[in-house]
Structure 1
Amino acid sequence: MEIAMDTVVEPAKTFVEVAEIWTPEGDRLVLSGGVYGGHDRFAEASRAESFAKGEGLPGKAWAEARPVVLKEFDGSYFRRTEVAKEAGLTCAVAIPVFAGKALRAVLVVLCADDAERTGAIEVWSEAEGILKLADGYYGAARHFEWVSQHTQFPKGQGLPGAVWSAQTPILMRDLGSGYRFVRSESAGQAGLAIGLGVPIPVPGGKTFVLTLLSARGTPIARRFEIWDARAGKTAKMVDGICERDGPLWDPENAGRERVASVWEGPVGHALGGGVPVAETGAAANGYAMMVALPIHRGGELSHVVAWYC
């Protein structure tokens, strides 16, 4: 007699494993929050650290006023290399959050690398009227990385160019088949499905766009949200998608409108404090990790983007 066995499906590995928030205190950056996914020794080492301007990865993003991608730690300015290697972490991206000229925080996300993890975290910068790849981390998506290194975007074209033109965060679906995504063929080959593009305002008016490209097998996130915060004390979701719930926003269905109030929930805390928020467990709606990243435009908070892993 055959006995039916329940099939246990392991959740897919996520592309990002750690998120931490560094905020200025005097002339140094100190750790104000983070989610470490069980990497306790790395969390302990992080809590013992602080960074002056120009020191380590958070200090470099502060000093250079730009997002910084660090694809390997050995021989670099990264100060927690040994414990990072013990945790299996291999690269990191630091995202400064400025309100006008004032630094509010630096968000650092750290990834683990293996032969299977696919996804992309990219930084695009403007030079001579066109967006070029400043740097990026792609995991196993080597061909897509090569294509990206040889692709440029005028204002309004592709995901980076659309973000540059609109000066707002943008979600794109079906990257492998979408005509709006310029690199669709190579994205489809890499299994990339969803793209989130985010403007990163910095002092001096330089243009930087951060793109997070998520694959189904090793997603950067299982849920993405974009919140319009220009109303002040509330933010309204203007786009969102979840692998479990499908579309989170429907312009034709006002009954599905979602609003976050200041200081209520992680998005509300990002709205109220103007600094990134990283949560886990119940505060992250049961996800292993959520990050809410505020975007300031002209010194005022304009949007909050959130992703849940």
Structure 2
Amino acid sequence: MDVAADTTEKTFIQIAEIWVPEGDRLVHGGGDYGGLGAFEATSRRESFAQGEGLPGKAWAEARPVVLKGFDGSYFKRTEAAAEAGLTAAVAIPVFAGAVLKAVLVVLCGDDDARTGAIEIWSETDGLMMLDDGYYGAAKHFEWVSQHTHFPVGQGLPGGVWAARTPILMRDLGSGYRFIRADSAAKAGLTTGLGLPIPLPSGRSCVLTLLSAKGTPIARRFELWDARASRVGKDGGAVLADGICAREGPLWDEDNPRRVTAWQGLIGRVLGSGLPVAESAAPGLPGGYGAMVALPLHQGGELAHIVAWYV
């Protein structure tokens, strides 16, 4: 039986929302707003042309975009964000080949308690270099990250770059595989998720989400493999790895590690090729209030789904 998760502690990411192309604009496609109803209402009335606002900028530039402050910027919902206590956001475009499927936007608030990291790494001169990132209160870890680069296969960004698959890392503060382990331990960072972000330019790009125990990005992470070489001719997706804040495995006789298209929330991503951000939705595991699932396409085909739950 599931034990209820503690949903009272602060999370590093406060909002996750989906924007999908409709004609020449991006329109609202769902989201988890963490109870911030006024900001949600404002967002549902909004839409973005290419290059307009944060989702439109990620669309126009065909790459993830980090925005650390809204005042005086191109962000369109500044007043509503300020009222909700939101101060930073990251937009992640979802491409299948050259086709934009959606843009996932995550929004955070900046205070002395929230620690974590959302980082964008890109290939430059044969190394993974930090494009930009948002770290909350983890200022020293931010400085270390700005002065760190990764050859192929090294650290979390380099490992994802080499494998071209999502990777979960445990015990960041003590793990020899995590190059920034010492500063991660001082910042309280415990879990790392690295994702290869496909871009139409073909440039290698890696998104990393680093979670701290006190203000976690999520309480549960799942990596689903949808590659034909892994799942066979019948299709579907298999649960390749996962981390849960509670005891016990993520699959058993009652919770199989395989899904088919349109079976549950992961199956919806599998069937549509679109990301999902839902709160209080049917199909959520017991004890969790919301989930985000992000599809990763390779060669124009859906290859992986990464999900996190709060």
Q: Cα distance, 1:218 vs. partner? A: 0.3
Please give the alpha-carbon distance, in whole angstroms, between the structure 1 residues aligned to 2:97 and 2:204: 14
What is the SS of the residue equivalent to 2:14?
strand
Say if 2:31 and 2:279, in contact at 8 Å, map to a contact too.
no
Distance 1:246 1:13 in 2: 24
Query: Alignment partner of 1:89: what SS?
Result: coil
Following superposition, the deviation at residue 86 of structure 1 comes to 0.3
Partner of 1:235: 237
Relative to structure 1, is the Cα distance of residues 255 and 129 closer, same or farther in structure 2, using a 3 angstrom cutoff? farther
Q: Decide whether the 8 Å contact of 1:120 with 1:213 is kept in 2.
A: yes
Secondary structure at the aligned position of 1:162 is classed as helix
Q: Any conservation in 1 of the 2:26–2:56 contact (CA below 8 Å)?
A: yes
Cα separation, 2, equivalents of 1:173 and 1:224 = 11
Match of 1:296 in 2: 297
Q: Quote the Cα distance in structure 1 between the aligned partners of 2:254 and 2:52.
A: 49
2:272 is the alignment partner of 1:273: yes
Match of residue 182 from structure 1: 179
C-alpha distance in 1 between matches for 2:207 and 2:48: 23
Q: What does the per-residue CA deviation read over 1:57-107, in whole Å, with 9 as the maximum and x for residues that have no partner? A: 000000101011111101110000000010011110100000000000000
User: What amino acid is the match of 2:298?
Assistant: R
Structure 2 equivalent of residue 153 of structure 1:
150
- Cα deviation, residue 254, structure 1: 10
| CA RMSD after TM alignment | 1.7
Structure-2 separation of matches of 1:257 and 1:241: 16
Identity rate, percent = 68
Aligned residue in 1 for 2:67: 70
**Does residue 1:44 correspond to 2:41, yes or no?**
yes
Q: Which residue of 2 aligns with 1:3?
A: none
Alpha-carbon distance between aligned partners in 2 of 1:175 and 1:22, rounded to the nearest angstrom: 32
* Structure 1 residue 11: Cα displacement: 3.0
Equivalences for residues 95-134 of structure 1 within 5 A: 95-134=92-131
Q: Report the CA distance shift for 1:256/1:19 in structure 2 as closer, same or farther (over 3 A).
A: closer
Q: Provide, for residues 19-75 of structure 1, a one-character-per-residue CA deviation record: whole Å limited to 9, x for no partner.
A: 110000001000011111111111111111111110000000001010111111011
Amino acid at match of 2:119: E
Amino acid at match of 2:224: W
Q: How far off is 1:257 after superposition?
A: 5.7
Q: 2:18 aligns with which of 18, 21, 24?
A: 21
Code of the residue aligned with 1:264 in structure 2: it is Q
Q: Are the counterparts in 2 of residues 233 and 272 from structure 1 also a CA contact under 8 Å?
A: no
What is the TM-score of this pair, normalised by structure 2?
Answer: 0.93
Q: Report deviation, 1:248.
A: 3.2
The gaps in structure 1 that reach 5 residues or longer are 1-8
Q: Deviations over 1:245-264 (max 9, x none)?
A: 35537xxx999860111111
* Alpha-carbon distance in structure 1 between the residues aligned to 2:160 and 2:88: 25
In structure 2, C-alpha distance between the alignment counterparts of 1:267 and 1:74, rounded to whole Å: 36
Normalised TM-score (structure 1): 0.93
The question of 1:191 aligning with 2:197 is answered: no
- Give the deviation of 1:282 after TM superposition: 4.4
1:259 and 2:258 are equivalent in the alignment: yes
User: Any conservation in 2 of the 1:233–1:271 contact (CA below 8 Å)?
Assistant: no
Structure 1 Cα separation of the partners of residues 248 and 173 of structure 2: 18
CA distance in 2, matches of 1:255, 1:21: 30
Counterpart Cα distance in 2 of 1:278 and 1:125? 26
Is the Cα–Cα contact under 8 Å of residues 7 and 289 in structure 2 kept in the other structure?
Answer: no
| Aligned residue number for residue 308 of structure 1 | 309
Greater shift after overlay, 38-47 or 192-201?
Answer: 38-47
Whole-angstrom CA distance in 2 between matches of 1:246 and 1:143: 34
Q: Distance in 2 between matches of 1:31 and 1:255?
A: 34
Q: Which amino acid aligns with 1:85?
A: A
* Letter aligned with residue 55 of structure 2: P
Looking at structure 2, the residues matched to 11 and 245 of structure 1 have their Cα atoms a distance apart, in angstroms, of 19
The residue number in structure 1 matching 2:3 is none
| Conserved 8 A contact 2:21-2:100 | yes
